[in-house]
Amino acid sequence: MATHIHILFLSTIFFTFNLARSQSNITRGLSLTPTGTTTSWLSPSGRYAFGFYPQISGYAIGVYIAGIPEKTVVWTASRENLPLSNNSTLSFTTDGSLIVEQTPGQRIDITSSTTIGASLASMQDSGNFVIYGPDRTTVVWQTFDPPTDTLLAGQKLVARQTLYSSVSESNHSIGIFKLSMQTDGHLVQYPNLGTPDNRQSFYWASNTSGNGPNVTLNLDSDGFLYLFKNSRFSIRNLTQGGFPRSKNDIYRMKIDVDGIFRVYHHDLSNKSTNGSSVIIWASSANKCAGKGLCGRNGYCVITNDVAGCECLPGFEFVDPKSWSLGCKRNYSTVDSCKVRDGVNTLFQMATLNNIAEWEDATYLIPEASTQEACSFACLNDCICEVAVFTGQECKLQKLPLRYIKVKDGEPNVGLIKVDPTTNYNPSIHIKKEQRPKILVTGVSLISFALLIILLFSGVAVYRAYKVWTSRKISENVNNVQLFDDIGPRAFSFGELEGITDGFKEELGRGSFGIVYKGVIDGSNKAIAVKRLKEELAQEGEREFQTEMKVIGRTHHRNLVRLLGYCCEGPERLLVMEYMTKGSLADILFKCKESKPCWEERIRMAVDIARGIQYLHEECETVIIHCDIKPQNILMDEYGRAKISDFGLAKLLERDQTKTFTFIRGTRGYVAPEWHKKLPVTVKVDVYSFGIVLLEILCCRRHVENGFSVNVAILEEWVLECYEKDELWRLVKDEDVDKREVEEMVRIGVWCIQEEPSLRPSMKKVLLMLQGIVDIPLPPNPSSFTSVV
């Protein structure tokens, strides 16, 4: 693939080189096009160029080394908007802005509003494209700050800045790895997959934490890469430097698409190599080092010194051309809780040997001292989807399995529940002659336990009988359909009645049911039990089935976890994790005196966005929640927001982007297309999130009775304040940076556009919330009418 790209660049470079313009200063009013007479602006020596360069299906704008056939890119603009079409125009406008226009009215601001009034620009021989202020000397914008995926000599990565890898060598959109300069002085690499940046997810670190916020990563012109503190003290040298240094030598550090960052050297005087790059240092020699390289349920292997990806047994790539999307099951898990004679005959266990590393999300460690016993434990636990046997412990887990690494000689064995009709590996099945031994041992232990129970507590025997019968009822209820990926355990109604002390403490209620607090005996673990109303049998049953089906397919830190269920006779109950701090509505609206601070509110918004993005883009099937609102956002003890209440959710197939369905959701949060009876997409959740975001920013409901007409409806009031430049009214007495408020309001306004196609994806919303991408000026939501 890379060879083809280089051929494309080689064929393009000599054609476009004469179309580039070399000049010291670039004046306002000049423009570039990818296919016109001028495609780029050159530095004085012709070493670097700023302008258009080809991508596989279009173009991008950036800085690249122009004096070599390889045409190496060192900075890319607006990575979230790639590729650009061949009718794009890059303009240094008369007011000093740097913008891209693809079609009339479709404008991308590269420099935002920071350069308004700028006098001129310059492509420098250092590789830095700069824009100067009215005095022609003050730099008001530059490509050196912030960088994208590369550092050049003289460039720095400062605290709170991050380098992001590209999707591929031919697609310079933001990829799945990042290198962050943290405020504690620590330089750390993480996957960029929406997962938290913590000890479990990092895969490289400089071990320089505790040095404070004034640490920078620096690259010198002799290839010296090092960490500097307070611009005075070197605290770690990553390379030794001392490499050849002349006008023909270029050094660059780049985080590559595989997640490893490397230092490259170009010798422009070497005619035999045509200035191609040589690696002089790499953060890791292991090409499988980057966590998440193969996505969920995939693992990295090295073949002939080339990294590749494979799927767990029983899985296949979501997209064989994009390994980072991970792997999905190629078999069904319908009726996964059914057993016969104590043995689950619906599945077999396949093995993956030599597991060196994985994201350990163990929920249970049963007493299983052998691999066979560990397999049997997972096989007959309907929650278990994969187990890891370490030689000493059996760790039961749910999917997805992340960050899997395989290395010869490692003792850990992965045991994966798979379809029994396929012979994945005959040696890994549970041997038939071993099953009776396990069963005999299990029956003996159960008999002994029952004898003790009979001697000391007849009541306990009755309770055990109730649990057993409830499970039989759950299997045989005619009007309850079991579904894919059901993992949580079954409870009897009697159990839940006891756990909730007779449904005594009510936590909240909705249109379909009431939520009660309960405590599991012996563990003092609090849970929430949602009991559906019997009088709404048909609607409640549909909501129950939908919620079970959706939550059974999900596993994310920003989604409320389903622990169990009960479907006994007419009773339908869901058992979920208990969220100690209640709902987002409680926090925002009930106690105005103790509302969360601005930073906490933005963190909540990011949490919610992560959860919705997971539903839209990271599940095996696309899930539209359809009822995003503060009452359905719950807060845990750490202040983390989690999405709940999936009873109205809609599932789409992978190749399906829209659907027709009856109107769902809550008034005030429902997107306009619902009312117009148009097909709905994931953009209905984006609209609802936009309303919730405005509520988070302003700490008030979307409609407030008793307010004046122009203030009562939140989105109309926000738009009025935005247009009049009176955003301070939204946050009142809070000490918040005006620019931050404006950026958050812009995001909200983009989300509530009437035309669904104008709303950003949740991935882009998340990138904007995190400050990774620029936030362009949004149109007025009411100025567009639907054309779908």
Q: How does DSSP assign 672-717, residue by residue?
A: HHHHTT--B-THHHHHHHHHHHHHHHHTS-SB-TTS-HHHHBHHHH
pLDDT of residue 479: 32
What Å distances lie between residue 238 and 146, 152, 220, 251, 287, CA to CA? 21, 15, 12, 14, 18
Burial of 546-556, coded b for 16+ CB within 10 Å and e otherwise, reads bbbbbbbbbbb
In angstroms, rounded to a whole number, what is the distance separating the alpha carbons of residues 74 and 261?
13
pLDDT of residue 116: 75
3-state helix vs strand vs coil in the chain, percent to 5:
25, 30, 45
Residue 765: exposed, middle, or buried by beta-carbon count in 10 A (0-12, 13-18, 19+)? buried
- The H-or-E segment that residue 745 falls in is helix 738-751
pLDDT of residue 118: 87
**pLDDT lower than 50: segments of the chain:** 1-23, 340-341, 425-487, 537, 783-788
Contact partners, residue 156, CB within 8 Å, separation at least 6: 144, 216, 217, 218
Catalytic residues: 627
Token reading at 471: 């499970």
pLDDT of residue 466: 38
Q: Is the peptide bond before 244 cis (omega within 30 degrees of 0)?
A: no
pLDDT of residue 7: 35
Rounded to the nearest 10 degrees, the angle between the axes of helix 434-456 and helix 371-379 is 70
pLDDT of residue 253: 97
Task: Please say whether the beta carbons of 191 and 259 come within 8 A.
Answer: yes
Rg of the chain in Å (alpha carbons): 29
Tell me the three state secondary structure of residue 132: strand
pLDDT of residue 345: 63
pLDDT of residue 535: 55
Contact partners, residue 228, CB within 8 Å, separation at least 6: 215, 216, 218, 234, 235
Altogether, the residues listed in the chain come to a count of 788
pLDDT of residue 159: 93
> Beta partners for 652?
622
In angstroms, rounded to a whole number, what is the distance separating the alpha carbons of residues 188 and 182?
7
Is-above-0.75 flag for pTM? no
pLDDT of residue 423: 60
Task: Please say whether the beta carbons of 202 and 193 come within 8 A.
Answer: no
Task: Please say whether the beta carbons of 313 and 219 come within 8 A.
Answer: no
In angstroms, rounded to a whole number, what is the distance separating the alpha carbons of residues 557 and 643?
10
Task: Please say whether the beta carbons of 233 and 161 come within 8 A.
Answer: no
Q: Indicate the DSSP class of residue 72.
A: -
**Is 530 annotated among the ligand-binding residues?**
yes
- CB atoms under 10 Å from CB of 87, counted, come to 11
In angstroms, rounded to a whole number, what is the distance separating the alpha carbons of residues 385 and 489?
13
